[in-house]
Amino acid sequence: MPIIYKTTQRKPLKMNVSFIQPSELKGMKSDFILPKKLNNQSFIIAVKSENMVQSFVYFTVYSDFIHINYSFTGTQFRRMGLSIFLREYLIKYARNQNIRKIVSVPFDTANSMPLLKKMGFEKCEADDSFMLRL
């Protein structure tokens, strides 16, 4: 993927979005255990700098929607807009694939619930999921 520049309140950031394999996430502190191998429908997109993953989103593509399985941003890279940036990238990816829904089910302790609401995801009353219709 090309290098993308994004400006934050702090300074311009050079962000490179990559599709990566689970083995590239070794060393990141995370409570979630990723599969050792991804199936044909599952992907991980990440922001990397100098071969270090700063933030990632693990997701599965179904015929009519994308399910965000898990996302994580390293402690030292938080409050830089990386998670929003990756989710915006995922929204563009979904639109390019003619997918009209993205679903996310954050953990109870996840920091992403306010972020999902800010991005237009709506909480589903039937369960703990959030959905964005594109």
The pLDDT assigned to 40 comes to 87
The pLDDT assigned to 3 comes to 44
The pLDDT assigned to 14 comes to 63
Which residues partner with 56 through β-bridges?
46, 72
Please list the ranges in the chain whose pLDDT falls under 50.
Answer: 1-8
Q: What is this structure's pTM?
A: 0.83
Look up residue 18 and give its two tokens: 């990559």
Say how far apart CA 29 and CA 85 lie, in whole Å. 21
Give the tens place of pLDDT for each residue, 81-108.
999 999 999 999 999 999 999 999 988 7
The full length of the chain comes to 134
Topology classification of domain 3-133: Aminopeptidase (3.40.630)
Helix (H, G, I), strand (E, B) or coil at 120: coil
Q: Give the position of tokens 């993953």.
A: 53
